[in-house]
Amino acid sequence: MDTNDTDPTSSRTAAGDTPEHENARQNVIAVDADDDPEGPVNRLDAHTGDGVRHRAFTTLVFDGDDNLLLAQRAPDKRLWDTHWDGTVASHPVEGQTQLEATRERLEEELGVTPDQYDDLRVTDKFEYKRYYFEDGLEWEVCSVLQCTLEDRTLDPDESEVAGVMWVPYERLHEHPKWYRQLRLCPWFEIAMRRDFADD
């Protein structure tokens, strides 16, 4: 997941990363199991070693026909590069709500502006922990947000998004073998499974 919170005072360099990796200059919000904040933590520290539980979100963007917009993570992402996400995922910064953070990332990553939707809402929250080979991990309390686009116009940022694809949401869930060529991000798979479990 991604965030734009920059902390120029941090200078950690992790093994296997390029010197002064971008993530080492950013913070995320450490949280307890109830999503209560415990203060900022270096983003690279939160995603390496044993990790640090932190606040995050994933957002599912639909059209009027219940198609879901999948976005492929750019190939230079440190974790889950080129995997397909639904639709954006990131970390809010201190003082920022999940709704504010989502609006920001939708516009920055996909060129989707608030006038294209009016129903952005939080629909779920869960904790998960997943490792990505030897490169790092995600340990997050992840809020799920959803919205419906009235205007499907997109302008993806290639540094963030390698590709986009509209897929029928129910069919994606019910027939995973049909989409097995798509490597899905774990937080999105969890969010989708929980969404249909509530039906």
- pLDDT number for residue 134: 85
Q: How is residue 99 written in tokens? A: 């709704």
Query: Side-chain half-sphere of 62: how many Cα atoms within 13 Å?
Result: 16
| pLDDT tier for residue 19 given thresholds of 50, 70 and 90 | very low
Percentage of residues in the chain with pLDDT exceeding 70?
87
Considering the domain boundaries, does residue 150 fall inside one? yes
Helices and strands (H and E) in the chain: how many: 4, 9
Residue 140 designated active-site: yes
Dist CA 89 CA 102 (whole Å)? 8
Q: Is the pLDDT of residue 14 over 70?
A: no
Q: What is the DSSP letter of 33?
A: T
Look at residue 24 in the predicted model and tell me its pLDDT: 57
Average pLDDT over every residue of 21-38? 84
Domain count, the chain: 1
Q: Domain for residue 12, yes or no?
A: no
pTM comes to 0.85
On whether residue 121 sits in a domain, the answer given is: yes
Q: Is residue 21 part of a domain?
A: no
**Does 9 score more than 70 pLDDT?**
no
Q: How far apart are CA 184 and CA 198, in angstroms?
A: 21
Residue 20 in any domain: the answer is: no
Residue 19 falls within a domain, yes or no?
no
**For residue 27, pLDDT beyond 80:** yes
Tens of pLDDT, residue by residue over 30-81, are 999 999 999 999 999 999 999 999 999 999 999 999 999 999 999 999 899 9
Among residues 109, 140, 150, 189, the one annotated as catalytic is 140
pLDDT score of 26? 85
> Whole domain around residue 71: which residue ranges?
55-125+137-197
Instruction: Determine, yes or no, domain membership for 14.
Output: no
pLDDT at 182 over 90: yes
**Averaged pLDDT, 137-154:** 96
Neighbours of 33 (CB within 10 A): 8
**Average of pLDDT values for 10-25?**
44
Residue 25 included in any domain: no
Q: Residue 135 has what pLDDT?
A: 87
CA distance 173 to 164: 18
Q: Are 46 and 52 in contact (CB under 8 A)?
A: yes
- Report which secondary-structure segment, H or E, holds 153: none
The CATH number linked to 159 is 3.90.79.10
